Amino acid sequence: MPPPPPPAAAPSLAGWLRAPRPETSPGIWRFGHTPRPVEDAEPLGDRELHGGALLALLGGLLVWSLCWNGYIRVWLWPLEWVTSDAWSGSRTYASFTYLYYVLFAALLAFLFGRLGSWPRVWRRHRPRLLTGLRVAPDSPPLPRMISARAAAAFVLGAWAWGLSFGGVWQFWLEPLYVLVPDGWWRDGDSTLYVIAYNAHYLVWTLVLLAAAAVAGDWRGALRRLRAGALADRGATPADLSRWQQLRDGGAEEAADRLTTELRAGTLSDLDYVRIDTAWQAVRARPTELAAFTDAVLQDGPGAFVHPSGARDLVARAARHDLLTRQVFVGEALDDERNPYAHRGTGVALDPTVLGTSLLAVGPPGSGKTGRVVRPVIESLCLEALAGRAAVVAMGGVASALGPDDAFDVIVRIGDTGGGHRLDLYGGAEDTDEAAALLAEVLTAGTRADPADAAAALAQLLGPYRAAYGGLPDVPELRALLDGAPGLMTTLGEDLEHAGAWDQLRELSARTRQAERPGDVGLLLADRLAVLDRCGFSAAPGDTGARRVRPFSLAAALEHPLRIRVDLPATGHAEAARIITRLVLAQFTAAATARGDRSLFACLVVDDATAAFTAATVRGLTHLRPANAGAVLSLRTLDEVPERLRAGLLGAVGCRMALSGITTWDGEQFARAWGKEWTEDRDVSSSPDRHGGALRRGVRGVRKLFTGRDATTETVTVRRVERERWSASELAHRLPPRHAVLSLTTVAGETGPPVLVRLGT
């Protein structure tokens, strides 16, 4: 079957590759990101800033005029100290003098530029100016891009211009004397003469300017300014669009084919990252270079396609940047409660932060599912198609986590019309491990001891495995825990025939313990009955002679699969809670036990009500080194046992409090985010009335330009420790569809809690 056509956005792939992606703090949307200018310690209004800059400019011009016209002689003293009378009138003296004039003018420009806060003017208008010049807004600051070579060329050009128009150099006037007819000279300042020499002066100025631009490589400086962000990443747009990494690695033919496809618009962003992922594997195993080249030459953009044959999702509802693996979830408000660097920036999630797990808490309608869970699932499905992730999405049918076409495996609990059947034991081969996992899940929310429950289950699972070579399904295990006489007798006889005497003793011990009052087996049987009633073990084609093999997470996480688990209908709420705990426990066990951890594995649970036990909270802390993570949403932290709440907030690295949470939930988040030291500034100002007439006149001129009275200020600064976000603010000051989000990367880099407007 031929692959489906690429998405409509494929022709813009070259532009997508050229977009700047600067390195930023965790969670900032890097695609086209514009870093904010340096924060002013004392912000100034436009009138005050521009008026002060204009006043400094006029002051500089006044000082230069006074110096140039001889009213101030001090500025010539250094020139007189290093020259002698013997130089006077020579060309060497004139050349040195004009160089001194240029350097002095540059010094005046620097000093008055600093006095007039011209750097602040540049920072304030920098984005607008760079946009007009078609320069990348996130390029490095201008002084970094102006190299010493470019600055020296400018100074030398200005020096040559001064020598030319100061009468020291005469050779540049020879073409004017040759080309202008003698009649024009005799007329003095005739119109033709004025036009001729002004045109010649303009041409000579352009020649000097062009020479300085070539000598100083001004074109290269502008090019570096435009592509500053990509230069920081070590790859230019041309390198990315021409597959330079493949050419450097010896796959030139494959690079030529992919470059042609990219220019033709038949290569999508997902094709790009999928082939790049395959190339990274080739770099680790150079012997696969020939096979890689053959696959690209044969299939082109469809090379290394996902086993499902899909090259993209049917539709994308969220904004994705597959090059950085980010998905856009909202925008940080330009609010004083947010850190300055985050204000007005996009907020995104990616595997580097999801690897520390995310807990989102908010009431129904706050935007958890539509603005957080679904975009993350969509992003992880794209990652799976690119061969970089395995995703397990779990929720009710009403959650609509994604269309069926977006998943490779769909497990519908209780639906015999289609899908797969979930393995009760998660693919565990060791009976003690399976018993411990199942006991933790079944005893959650009860007073039973998980250790006693694990021992009781092990006394049944071990004998059953020894007799029949497998583990029992829910109906059979329920009957064994109920102590069904016929089944227990049959199991004992089969163990005698198999010669498994040690397991026979375990079965006998279970029989004796079942006769004791308050035996844990009855509780476990009742919990399994809840699963049995919701149709947990039902699957298409299940008959007495043929049974469908259960689906195991332990085997699935080794492959880039997209898995969706649909929980039972609302009539089986308790069963849904047990299954949620079961899948969460199986996922943490399977993710940490993987031999190959190259794929990022992620579990996304739309409603994690009653999903947490002491074991699963501990398991969340083990996901980070296993290249795995979990996204868990809750209506309220009250659904978590009180003894586990602090541990849960500490186990996850990313925390999200959505609008509408209670003050009690806000208190837990406020405690998790802690406090920070801040400075309280008490400023008292009064009009400046000091000085005589001269100072009053200066203050009047300043007020004319800046619009502000001169004042004297008294500042009192105190350092105090305050909560980053208080419980009251989280409960009452979050607008609808907003959340406070803090992120942590797997490398340990932490980000502050940021107020985010959710949505695209």
Q: Is the pLDDT of residue 661 over 60?
A: yes
Rounded Cα distance between 13 and 429, Å, is 47
Decide: helix, strand or coil at residue 240. Answer: helix
Which of 383, 320, 373 is CA-nearest to residue 346? 320
Contact by Cβ (8 Å): 655, 649: yes
Residue owning tokens 């003050």: 663
Q: Is the pLDDT of residue 212 over 50?
A: yes
Angle at CA of residue 553, ends 471 and 389, nearest 5°: 170
pTM for this one? 0.76
| 323-332 pLDDT tens trace | 999 999 999 9
**Local confidence band at 9 (pLDDT 50, 70, 90 cut-offs):** very low
User: Do the bridges between strand 326-332 and strand 320-321 make them parallel or antiparallel, or are there none, so unpaired?
Assistant: antiparallel
* Predicted pLDDT of residue 549: 63
Kindly state the average pLDDT of the residues 461-479: 90
Kindly state the average pLDDT of the residues 196-213: 69
- The amino acid at residue 14 is A
Which of 515, 512, 526 is CA-nearest to residue 448? 526
* Predicted pLDDT of residue 578: 92
Q: Is the pLDDT of residue 524 over 70?
A: yes
Q: 413: number of CA atoms within 13 Å, CB side?
A: 31
713 DSSP β-pair partners: 685
Helices and strands (H and E) in the chain: how many: 33, 14
Residues 6+ apart with CB under 8 A from 548: 420, 421, 539, 540, 541, 542
Q: Which of 403-417, 634-648, 680-694, 732-746 has the lowest mean pLDDT?
A: 680-694
Q: Is the pLDDT of residue 612 over 60?
A: yes
* Predicted pLDDT of residue 180: 59
Q: What is the DSSP string of 393-437?
A: EEE-GGG--S-GGG-SEEEETT-TTSSB-B-TTTT--SHHHHHHH
Q: Which of 43-47, 232-236, 401-405, 638-642 has the lowest mean pLDDT?
A: 232-236
Helix pair angle (693-706, 46-68), 10° resolution = 120
Classify burial at 236, counting beta carbons within 10 Å of its beta carbon; exposed 0-12, middle 13-18, buried 19 or more.
middle
CA distances (Å), origin 729, targets 158, 187, 732? 59, 84, 5
The runs of H, that is alpha helices, within 174-217 are 174-179, 182-186, 191-216
Kindly state the average pLDDT of the residues 696-711: 70
Classify burial at 178, counting beta carbons within 10 Å of its beta carbon; exposed 0-12, middle 13-18, buried 19 or more.
exposed
Contact by Cβ (8 Å): 442, 528: yes
Phi-psi region of 490 (alpha: psi -120 to 50; beta: other; left: phi over 0): alpha
Rounded Cα distance between 578 and 569, Å, is 13
Decide: helix, strand or coil at residue 565. Answer: strand
| 551-566 pLDDT tens trace | 888 888 999 999 999 9
Quote the distance between the C-alpha of residue 28 and its chain's center: 5
| 496-513 pLDDT tens trace | 888 888 888 988 898 888
Q: What is the 3 state secondary structure string of 271-337?
A: HHHHHHHHHHHHHHCHHHHHHHHHHHHHHHHHCCCCCCCCCCCCCCCCCEECCCCEEEEEEECCCCC
| 49-100 pLDDT tens trace | 778 888 888 888 888 888 878 788 787 777 777 666 656 556 566 667 767 7
DSSP 571: G
Rounded Cα distance between 640 and 653, Å, is 18
Q: What is the 3 state secondary structure string of 83-147?
A: CCHHHCCCHHHHHHHHHHHHHHHHHHHHHHHHHCCHHHHHHHHHHHHHHHCCCCCCCCCHHHHCC
Kindly state the average pLDDT of the residues 302-311: 92
Residue owning tokens 């521009």: 50
Q: What is the largest CA-CA distance in the chain?
A: 133
Q: Is the pLDDT of residue 628 over 90?
A: yes
Share of the chain above pLDDT 90, in %: 36
**Local confidence band at 231 (pLDDT 50, 70, 90 cut-offs):** very low
* Highest mean pLDDT (candidates 66-70, 234-238, 296-300): 296-300
| Dihedral sign (CA 174, 176, 178, 181) | negative
Higher-confidence position of 519 and 372: 372
Q: Is the pLDDT of residue 454 over 80?
A: yes
| 485-498 pLDDT tens trace | 888 889 888 888 88
* Predicted pLDDT of residue 1: 35
* Highest mean pLDDT (candidates 36-40, 120-124, 197-201): 120-124
Q: Is the pLDDT of residue 663 over 90?
A: yes
Mean pLDDT score of the chain: 81
* Predicted pLDDT of residue 18: 83
Higher-confidence position of 755 and 760: 755
Q: What is the CA radius of gyration of the chain?
A: 37
Q: What is the 3 state secondary structure string of 361-374?
A: ECCCCCCHHHHHHH
* Predicted pLDDT of residue 4: 40
- The amino acid at residue 123 is R
Residues 6+ apart with CB under 8 A from 431: 458, 461, 462, 465, 471
Rounded Cα distance between 723 and 667, Å, is 11
| Tokens standing for residue 426 | 């998660």
| 314-364 pLDDT tens trace | 999 999 999 999 999 999 998 888 998 899 999 999 999 999 999 999 999
